[in-house]
Chain A
Amino acid sequence: MEKLNFTYQNSQPVKKFVHVGVVASGDLEVLIYPAEKTTLEIVTGSDGFKEVWQNVLDRFFTRYPLQGKFVIHDFGATPGVVNLRLTQAMEELNDEE
């Protein structure tokens, strides 16, 4: 069990609360709240992947610089599944616009 924290300087504030994914084996849930800064709190059952998370988040935010508070509960998702949930959240936010 690990708790990870990250911060980013992103430019697109999210306008509403969004919740995607489930805490099931191989999956994760992503909650995004509007906020002044971009912070991430990740609770994960798979230890030792901090660098991978960093890479996934760097890549995601380079393409989609969302500003908000992210809370993530991970249950052993591969980087591909993490990317899926993050981009699903991104789409849901874009739908509003």
Chain B
Amino acid sequence: MSERNWHSHRDAKNARLAGAAKLLDGKFAKTEDVVKVLEALIKPGDKVVLEGDNQKQASFLSAALTKVDAAKVHDLHMIMSSISRPEHLDIFDLGIASKMDFSYAGPQSTRVSQMIADNTMQVGDIHTYLELFGRLFIDLIPNVVLVAADKVDHEGNLYTGFNTEETPTIVEAAAFHDGIVIVQANDVVDKVPRVDIPAGWVDVVIPADKPYQLEPLFTRDPQAISELQILMGMMAIRGIYEKHNVQTLNHGVGFNTSAIELLLPTYGEQLGLKGKICRNWELNPTPTLIPAIESGWVESIHSFGGEVGMEKYIMARPDIFFVGNDGTMRSNRALGQVAGQYACDMFVGSTLQIDQFGNSSTVTHGRLSGFGGAPNMGSNPTGRRHSTPAWQSLKPADDPLAKGQKLVVQMVETFGSNKKPVFVDHLDAEEVRKEAKLANVPIMIYTEDTTHILTEEGIAYLYKTDSMEERKAAIEAVAGVTPVGLRSKPQEVKNLRERGIVALPEDIGVRRQDAKRSLLAAQTMDDLVEWSHGLYNPPVKFRSWS
């Protein structure tokens, strides 16, 4: 009986690297050789992670990948956090890739939907970020990873800085299972400010022709915040944050949460809540949190990724952010998602549709945007054991073996800006499941995990309901004049209010007349710059002068 080769992966890796040796000087390849390098190191059918993170895109490598000879490199199985750039899909048109496992596809949702429908792209599955990262170590172990770094030294040590995001996680999965790690770097330097990823984990470095693409996804202009969003923000602070004593939290990106951030130093201050709530955050460094930071509300912020324009401000506030001893921030999506799951009292987000039962979805016909981080952040981790006041406040009173629960809040106006109802009897996602050939209906956050729904009408404290019937009634009470809301009966609403399951603004002492833009700590981008003592540098598209 012949001996099994127990190091076949290692042998295969060495063979590939040997095949590319003439293109490499140590670990370094020339910028102009990028396509040849990819053709030498990637084999048909490979599992390839291409760094499409939420913010950072390995754009030099993704453009190069579209130029490889499809006769040599084809049928790749791509694994991507975020399908963000057109060329991420062009490789399917070109026959270079045929299968995709991903998490988020917001920026390419229409084309993704089309490619699934006409079988140009076969989807393995859609995941939440942390789930995809986990599979990199189990059944989606990559053969090749294509990542981006800011700086690299001559040995190959990488500095990824503010926008570290998931790079270390992706690289680790390859580096320790004989995958090949190919890095595009903005700059080659003598000494990196700090080592984010050690050279020993890196196989090939290619200096890029221009810096990797970076999008400011979490910046929201305060001028666009409406009075309705301010009213909802006030209700959130009073009826949820204060009521449950929320100390640790994550805000999903959006105008609703930006409004809350800007109401802390004003409305929150009026309620005497500084130091009592919102102390420790898992959050991308959103500029709208600057006033709360400057006013002394915030103890710490850990981030999934960076945010363009916030760099100098962060460097000047190392007590708050996670900053290396070189002075620049380090982000980490994998650890941030773990923190968001287990270490936060509350997640607050928004959505496009909520059904009569309380399930939420952002999926609409013809656009498959995937999940991103929300299913993870917006779920109750039953593995959690440590108790905090907020988590404990949701413990059911009647069960001696019960424990607390994470607050998962969905904040929505009853009608979208297109005047279509947000509350519907059946989610579009139910139809999309069939269109996109998915195993299950792509629900973002399930009703069993949703503890509160907040609309412009009021708050439904779903965690207090005892049955699905009661849950539906609570939703109907705050669903306005949507088809769902029109089923609500006045007597039922009265009853639910008396039992504290539904609260209208007057029930929690929130005055709608106070919902004015002047209540925001900052009303313009300029105000934010001023709050930051000139350290915040808004990206071009947010500047009001041109």
Contacts and interface: CB of A to CB of B under 8 A. Distances in A.
A10 B414 CA distance: 26
B413 A80 contact: yes
Interface string B465-493: 00000000000000011000110001001
Interface string A81-97: 10110011001100000
B480 A59 contact: yes
A28 B98 CA distance: 52
Contact of A59 (B226, B455, B456, B481): B481
Contacts of A52: 481
Contacts of A79: 414-415, 419, 480-481
A84 B115 CA distance: 43
B408 interface: no
A63 B505 CA distance: 13
Given A62-B490, A79-B414, A84 B480 contact: no
A78 interface: yes
A55 interface: yes
Nearest to B421: A79
A42 interface: no
A65 B471 CA distance: 27
A83 B511 contact: no
A43 interface: no
Contacts of B457: 80, 83
B512 A78 contact: no
A55 B415 contact: no
A87 B514 CA distance: 12
Contacts of B515: 84, 88
Majority SS of interface residues in chain A? helix
Contact of A78 (B415, B493, B505, B511): B415
A91 B456 CA distance: 15
19 contacts: A26-B417, A59-B481, A62-B490, A63-B504, A78-B413, A78-B419, A80-B228, A80-B415, A80-B455, A80-B456, A81-B226, A81-B228, A83-B456, A83-B457, A84-B231, A84-B512, A87-B512, A88-B512, A91-B512
Nearest 4 A-B pairs (CB), nearest first?
A: A55-B481, A80-B456, A80-B413, A78-B415
Contacts of B413: 78, 80
B513 interface: yes
A92 B514 CA distance: 11
A26 B224 CA distance: 12
B486 A55 contact: yes
A92 B511 CA distance: 10
A91 B511 contact: yes
A40 interface: no
B75 interface: no
A83 B486 CA distance: 14
A20 B231 CA distance: 15
Contacts of B511: 91
Interface residues of A, number: 20
Max count, chain B CB within 10 A of own CB: residue among A52, A79, A88: A79
Contacts of B493: 63
A41 to B, nearest CB: 20
Contact of B480 (A26, A49, A83): A83
Contacts of B480: 56, 59, 79-80, 83
A63 B513 contact: no
A79 B413 CA distance: 9
A62 to B, nearest CB: 5
Given A52-B481, A59-B485, A80-B455, 10 more contacts: A26-B417, A59-B480, A59-B486, A79-B419, A80-B414, A80-B457, A84-B228, A84-B231, A87-B512, A91-B513
A56 B421 CA distance: 13
Contacts of A26: 226, 417
B196 interface: no
B227 interface: yes
B227 A63 contact: no
A88 B481 contact: no
Interface string B403-430: 0000000000111110100000000000
B415 A87 contact: no
A63 B480 CA distance: 12
A92 B513 contact: yes
Contacts of A56: 480-481
Interface in B379-414: 413-414
Interface in A47-87: 49, 52, 55-56, 59, 62-63, 78-81, 83-84, 87
A81 B455 CA distance: 12
Contacts of A83: 456-457, 480
Contacts of A55: 481, 486
B484 to A, nearest CB: 12
Interface string B492-520: 01000000000011100001110100000
